[in-house]
């Protein structure tokens, strides 16, 4: 840092940056506590994609090489494959649980269609 340049930090900008950092840390905490650390890593990868793609779209001097594009494509395929692999057992378990409803279980409810009382 050059000692001859004076630094000017506007309090509003500093406060907004602090709030953005706080919200980011809070969201990471909530994602990890509600799901898992691996999910937080996957969302971090998705966030990185969006930052790179937005910067390439907004700033004209950003150059994406063929290797960059191939790397992002591999990462996208990996995330999609992971999500399919993770969600498939949950769907199979749900379908299996629906087909294994036995009489007397909480899901098995019989509703009489004709409820007639015999009058004396």
Verdict on whether the full-model pTM lies above 0.85: no
pLDDT of 92: 62
Residue 58 lies in a domain: yes
pLDDT of 93: 62
Give me the numbers of helices (H) and strands (E) for the chain, helices first please. 3, 0
pLDDT of 120: 45
d(CA 45, CA 82): 13
Q: Measured in whole angstroms, how far is the alpha carbon of residue 59 from the centre of its chain?
A: 27
pLDDT of 44: 81
Q: Measured in whole angstroms, how far is the alpha carbon of residue 41 from the centre of its chain?
A: 10
Residue 101 lies in a domain: no
Host domain of residue 55: 11-85
Residue 25 lies in a domain: yes
Counted domains in the chain: 1
Residue 118 lies in a domain: no
Per-residue pLDDT tens digits of the chain, which is 120 residues long: 566 677 777 889 889 999 999 998 898 888 888 888 777 888 888 888 888 888 888 887 778 889 988 988 898 888 888 878 877 776 666 665 555 555 555 555 555 555 555 544
């Amino acid at each position: 840092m050059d000692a001859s340049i004076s630094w000017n930090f506007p309090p509003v900008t500093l406060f907004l940056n602090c709030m953005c950092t706080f919200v980011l840390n809070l969201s990471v905490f909530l994602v990890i506590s509600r799901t898992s650390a691996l999910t937080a890593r996957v969302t971090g990868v998705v966030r990185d994609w969006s930052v790179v793609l937005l910067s390439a779209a907004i700033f004209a001097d950003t150059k994406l090489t063929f290797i960059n594009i191939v790397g992002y494509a591999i990462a996208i395929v990996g995330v999609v494959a992971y999500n399919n692999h993770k969600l498939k057992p949950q769907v199979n378990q749900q379908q299996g649980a629906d087909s294994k409803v036995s009489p007397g279980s909480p899901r098995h409810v019989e509703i009489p269609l004709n409820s007639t009382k015999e009058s004396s």
